[in-house]
A and B are shown apart, each in its own frame.
Chain A
Amino acid sequence: MIDYSKLINKTIQSVKPSGIRKYFDIAAEMDDVISLGVGEPDFKTPWHIREAAIQSLNEGKTRYTSNSGILELRDEICKYYERRFGVKGYNYRTDCLVSVGGSEAIDLAVRCLINPGDEVLIPEPSFVCYTPIVAMSGGVPVPIRTVVENDFRLTGDELRAAITPKTKMLILPYPNNPTGGIMRKEHLEEIAEVLRGTDIMILSDEIYAELTYGGISHASIAAVDGMFERTVIVSGFSKAYSMTGWRLGYALGPKEVIAAMTKLHQYAIMSAPTNSQYAAIEALRNGDDDVRDMLKEYDARRRFIVDGFNKLGLACFEPNGAFYVFPCIQSSGLTSDEFCEKLLYSKKVAVVPGNAFGECGEGFIRVSYCYSISHIKEALKRIGDFLDECKG
């Protein structure tokens, strides 16, 4: 008998599986569960984008593309970043890599920059992949606790306090999953002030960049003075264009870093899915209206759900990004895990405990509003009943 625990890489064995897996397996088995748990749009990919992929199939475009991605697509990505977020100066031949989702780009960027022992600063609560990926590279994940009082932004002081001589990279996950927090230009300036004159790199995960509300546009740290040279932007098509299943993302950054990432990508992946790349060209060329329409819909839901939670007595700061709200559930007297488990068993509503996104998410739950208003309404009603029972 082979003892696999001796064979499987020690680091991956030490990475703890997402703690909530178990209870969502239970949820998946239950009938009539009403979920506010998913991190993907309910909209389908706009038809003209699908059409472009179908056309590429009909034209027989079924082979690998260049490792970095179709040149035309890279050109569109660079133009898009300038047009939408004012980041200028990317050369589409050397500074852009098309990846399999934003996730692959995160993995590549970390693996290509981190040596064993390097410290990587990770503001939390945040998306669950950073810590395991850093660990797999032999890096040391250093969580930085962000707080609701600052709308879960990273502050200059918090950053400064976390920096050591071993700090290699800062991950900047804004607009943020799970909190919905964003960083405006002035907040980024504070971060830039701390980093100027250091060699610390920034991995800016901007996958939710199109989803900002209240008339605030996403600000990219790469556009802040002195940050361009140290920033790798990672983004993708999943959230903005409802293209989660297409698995397409990209990285933008200094050509030396992109070259290293491309080398690794070439060995691990070859090239991102060809037909997804054709769809993405169409998305960037003619998708602005779709994004605007979906944003409008999300915005109405966002206001609806924030209002709903506040009325239920679960304080909810107004998130200006992504498609999540992050209400505080401490008034229920329960921990995040207890809250989610009890809510699931007694009312069949699935939400995600905040501590799944880092310890400082304890006391909160992540609620997605990628659902119809009637769905959200029903879920809020059940949560209201649940809270009444908790009190009773």
Chain B
Amino acid sequence: MKKEIINLLEKEPQLTNAELAAMLGISEEEVAAQVAELKKMGVIRGQKLIVNRELIGDSKITALIEIKVTPKSKLGFDAIAHQIAEFEEVQSLYLMSGGFDLAVTVTGNTFHDVAMFVAKRLSPLESVVSTATHFILRPYKELGIKMNDSGTDDRGIVSL
């Protein structure tokens, strides 16, 4: 049941326990208990709004930064990853397979903000060997949501 709850909530975080209960055919109490447990387990970690700031002329600058690091003995990549995750400019951070080790997305108000972040905060870290910064020019889709979809339904109003 936990999986079913997560599948529904991931798509529609605003669903109430009563609505989830109706959809899953279980009691509201049962849903509440499961959700509480999912939160306690750290499975549910929060929710955010996905926005397209372009449309109100308030675009932020986002860069995707590839980082090569020297892993610390015993701690591997975790120590440096946790350290980087602490920076509030960092929006996402992943350990990667392939040609580099960590992928970071960083957001700032200007190019300068992002450049300074790389130069002053990221690069000086002891374990960081090199970085490659790619500025994102335009978002098309984030977390499964299209950024420029008009959302109109091409099915029309009624078909029998």
Interface residues in chain A, defined as those with a beta carbon under 8 Å from any beta carbon in chain B: 18, 20, 24, 27-28, 33, 35, 37-40, 42, 127-128, 177, 300-301, 303-304, 306-308, 350, 352, 356-357, 372-374, 377
Query: 16 A-B contacts, Cβ less than 8 Å apart?
Result: A20-B158, A24-B157, A27-B158, A28-B156, A35-B153, A37-B157, A37-B158, A39-B160, A42-B155, A127-B160, A304-B22, A307-B22, A350-B157, A357-B160, A373-B15, A377-B19
Contacts of B72-87 to chain A: CB distance below 8 A = none
- Closest residue to B12 on the A side, CB-wise? A373
Contact check, B160 vs A128: say whether CB atoms are below 8 A apart. Answer: yes
Q: Which of B155, B157, B158, B159 has the most CB of A within 10 A?
A: B158
- Closest residue to B14 on the A side, CB-wise? A374
Which residues from chain A contact B22 at a C-beta distance below 8 Å?
A: 303-304, 306-308
Contact check, B25 vs A35: say whether CB atoms are below 8 A apart. Answer: no
Which residues from chain A contact B23 at a C-beta distance below 8 Å?
A: 300-301, 303-304, 307
When chains A and B are docked, how far (Å) is the Cα of A39 from the Cα of B159? Answer: 5
Chain B interface residue bracket vs A: 10 to 19
When chains A and B are docked, how far (Å) is the Cα of A124 from the Cα of B19? Answer: 32
Which residues from chain B contact A306 at a C-beta distance below 8 Å?
A: 22
When chains A and B are docked, how far (Å) is the Cα of A372 from the Cα of B12? Answer: 9
Provide the main secondary structure of the chain B interface.
loop
Report the minimum CB–CB distance from B126 to chain A (whole Å): 46
Which residues from chain A contact B115 at a C-beta distance below 8 Å?
A: none
When chains A and B are docked, how far (Å) is the Cα of A242 from the Cα of B10? Answer: 23
When chains A and B are docked, how far (Å) is the Cα of A92 from the Cα of B66? Answer: 57
Whether a CB of chain A sits under 8 angstroms from the CB of B24 is: yes
Whether a CB of chain A sits under 8 angstroms from the CB of B33 is: no
Contact check, B24 vs A356: say whether CB atoms are below 8 A apart. Answer: no
Given A39-B160, A300-B24, A350-B158; 13 other pairs, CB 8 A cutoff: A33-B157, A37-B157, A38-B157, A38-B158, A38-B159, A301-B23, A303-B23, A303-B24, A352-B158, A357-B160, A373-B11, A373-B12, A374-B12
When chains A and B are docked, how far (Å) is the Cα of A306 from the Cα of B34? Answer: 23
Contact check, A38 vs B156: say whether CB atoms are below 8 A apart. Answer: yes
Whether a CB of chain A sits under 8 angstroms from the CB of B129 is: no
Contact check, A38 vs B24: say whether CB atoms are below 8 A apart. Answer: no
Contact check, B25 vs A27: say whether CB atoms are below 8 A apart. Answer: no
When chains A and B are docked, how far (Å) is the Cα of A20 from the Cα of B25? Answer: 35
Contacts of B27-79 to chain A: CB distance below 8 A = none
Given A40-B155, A303-B25: A352 and B19 interface contact (C-beta under 8 Å)? no
Given A303-B25, A304-B23: A24 and B15 interface contact (C-beta under 8 Å)? no
Whether a CB of chain A sits under 8 angstroms from the CB of B125 is: no
Report the minimum CB–CB distance from B41 to chain A (whole Å): 23
Which residues from chain A contact B12 at a C-beta distance below 8 Å?
A: 372-374
When chains A and B are docked, how far (Å) is the Cα of A350 from the Cα of B158? Answer: 8
Whether a CB of chain A sits under 8 angstroms from the CB of B8 is: yes
Which residues from chain A contact B159 at a C-beta distance below 8 Å?
A: 37-40
When chains A and B are docked, how far (Å) is the Cα of A112 from the Cα of B147? Answer: 52
Q: Which of B14, B23, B155, B160 has the most CB of A within 10 A?
A: B160
Which residues from chain A contact B11 at a C-beta distance below 8 Å?
A: 373
Report the minimum CB–CB distance from B145 to chain A (whole Å): 12
- Closest residue to A18 on the B side, CB-wise? B160
When chains A and B are docked, how far (Å) is the Cα of A333 from the Cα of B12? Answer: 35
Which residues from chain B contact A35 at a C-beta distance below 8 Å?
A: 153, 157-158
When chains A and B are docked, how far (Å) is the Cα of A120 from the Cα of B25? Answer: 40
Report the minimum CB–CB distance from B116 to chain A (whole Å): 40
Which residues from chain A contact B24 at a C-beta distance below 8 Å?
A: 300, 303
Which residues from chain B contact A303 at a C-beta distance below 8 Å?
A: 22-25
Which residues from chain A contact B157 at a C-beta distance below 8 Å?
A: 24, 27-28, 33, 35, 37-38, 350
- Closest residue to A177 on the B side, CB-wise? B160
When chains A and B are docked, how far (Å) is the Cα of A300 from the Cα of B1? Answer: 13
When chains A and B are docked, how far (Å) is the Cα of A39 from the Cα of B158? Answer: 7
Which residues from chain B contact A300 at a C-beta distance below 8 Å?
A: 8, 23-24
Given A300-B24, A304-B19: A356 and B160 interface contact (C-beta under 8 Å)? yes
Which residues from chain A contact B14 at a C-beta distance below 8 Å?
A: 374
When chains A and B are docked, how far (Å) is the Cα of A317 from the Cα of B62? Answer: 51
Which residues from chain B contact A177 at a C-beta distance below 8 Å?
A: 160
When chains A and B are docked, how far (Å) is the Cα of A307 from the Cα of B153? Answer: 25
Contact check, B15 vs A38: say whether CB atoms are below 8 A apart. Answer: no
Interface string of B121-160 (1 = CB under 8 A from A): 0000000000000000000000000000000010111111
Report the minimum CB–CB distance from B25 to chain A (whole Å): 6
When chains A and B are docked, how far (Å) is the Cα of A24 from the Cα of B11? Answer: 31
When chains A and B are docked, how far (Å) is the Cα of A28 from the Cα of B15? Answer: 30
When chains A and B are docked, how far (Å) is the Cα of A307 from the Cα of B22? Answer: 6
When chains A and B are docked, how far (Å) is the Cα of A372 from the Cα of B157? Answer: 15
Report the minimum CB–CB distance from A6 to chain B (whole Å): 30
